[in-house]
Structure 1
Amino acid sequence: MNRSANHKGALFMVLAMAGFTINDALVKSVTDAMNAGQIIFVRGLMTSAIVVTLAWLAGAFRPLEALRDRALVLRAVGEIAAAVTYVSALGLMPLANTASILQALPLAVTLGAALYLGEAVGWRRWLAILAGFVGVLIVLRPGPDGFSLGAICVVASVFFAAMRDLCTRRIDRAIPALLITAVTSIAITVVGGLLVVPMGGWRPMDPAPVLRIAGASLALVAGYQGIVMAMRTGEISFIAPFRYTSLLWAIAIGMLFFGEQPDLWMGAGVAVIVASGLYSFYRENRRRRKTVGQEPQPESP
């Protein structure tokens, strides 16, 4: 894969992280007004309307047979589970904390690639993965009673998001990115609707929360499309570090709009997670270069 493709993938990843972080902040701002199921459902209706319209205009729809792609179905399952657990966590934890733990996602992707896709992972990267999850524990700081519900939700969301990203790479490239996004968005909306009653029932909505959800929908569309384009354009080992840009956004928004003040322990945990992730990417790039260098070169004519 050439350098230009990697740079494009990195740009898509940066835009996706900005979209997701803005969405997270807007969703967090309405967690007192409605439950997670209602948020996911209302946001999903708006997001699906936007995405389906864009997909229709772009001619991205394909025969129903295309939707039988196993990787596409598994990606939707991972996205649904990640959305439910993460929205629940946003209502229980500070934005900066949830974003910090989410930085372990690239390590979770590496772990999943090793366990389920057969990717070679050396002992150094295994240690980096272990160190990264130690960093997660530092951020969470479980008390005498163990992990809080918010902590369990956000950690679960990391692994479900890793499942989503790994499946994205396996989807048939003939399926347009907009169709992938549309299918995922519709599936999440349906599940959100089913969860409204179990999570506390429908609450009347004032105009302000509705407008925030609308803004979250627009940001989420940008995030959805960006992540799909990033994972399908650049090499994972090159573009994955750009996920960390979301942490800068989350800390700034948390301080400015939610009055959050990151403490020393959170800073230490984030440093461990980011350092572990960057080292893992470094080792992966070295391995790839070494593998390419060992490939037999064609003879000169």
Structure 2
Amino acid sequence: MSQRRGLENHTVGSGFVLLAFCDHSSLQGLCFTVLLVIYLVVLAGNSLIALITVLDCSLHSPMYFFLRNLSFLEICYTSVTLPKMLVSVLRADGRISFLGCAAQLYFLVLLGSTECLLLAAMAYDRYVAICHPLHYPLAMSRGLCTRLVLGSWGAVTPVQVGQTYQLFTLPFCASHDLRHFFCDVPPLLDLACADTFWNQVALHSIILGFAVLPFCLIVLSYIQIIRAILKIPSVLGRHKAFSTCSSHLMVLTLFYGSATVIYLKGHSRDSGDPDKYFALFYTIVTPMFNPLIYSLRNKEVRIALKKLLWTK
């Protein structure tokens, strides 16, 4: 017991070292520039989407209410990792305190789990709109939409507090070097000097509840949506119905596709390098592309953007 407490106290005092950028120290200037541009694009793009869905009365519908919340979540999501990454590259110093790492991990998994639930709520919205259009205004009331968004945040918060506490009460080995861009569950488990069986059980239970289950609901929703679209007699009608879902489908593919590689495949200590780049993709690149996807593929959003940018 005393040995474990000593290890924990050592961990608290020394923190961790994020080594991902140390592998390419000669490219630090380029890395900083690229990351800064990405962060500015994420902030500008998602803020613009959120702004037009508030200002334009034609976008005051449940679909754009969820999109506005998704944009806010994406800003928070990237702000958990990117500012620290920028500082690490600028100073050529990947050190992060024990409490800083715990806070970063907590908000990362909190926002990631919330996004899974929010994407499921958006799929349900499209299901009701296409499969039950006559009942849509009543079924997707403002009160229900608000409860779905608040529930997406509220359901995740206590669970992720428990997971973060469970992980950071583990004793860590003498080496606190994380070959990663930020604090994440798999690389931290690799550093633990104790049996992580129950941590793995907790991790996969959380993935099952907040990622796999929402994904199954999304798949079921789109099966019903596709069936309803195929019953539409006109080609134009089918195209119009599918176009309202295409942006959401692309966002789902980007987010779930890269996250699945990290959390649902078998993880080993030797898989760190590929994993860290996939993690970078779904935490940074996906939030950057989301506003572009919705603005380029959604006619109503494009019209609202033109009205906002070119109105004198």
Same fold, judged at TM 0.5 (above): no
TM-score (norm 1): 0.28
Greater relative contact order: 1 or 2 (C-alpha under 8 angstroms, separation 6 or more)? 1
Higher helix share: 2
TM-score (norm 2): 0.27
User: Of the two, which has the highest radius of gyration?
Assistant: 2
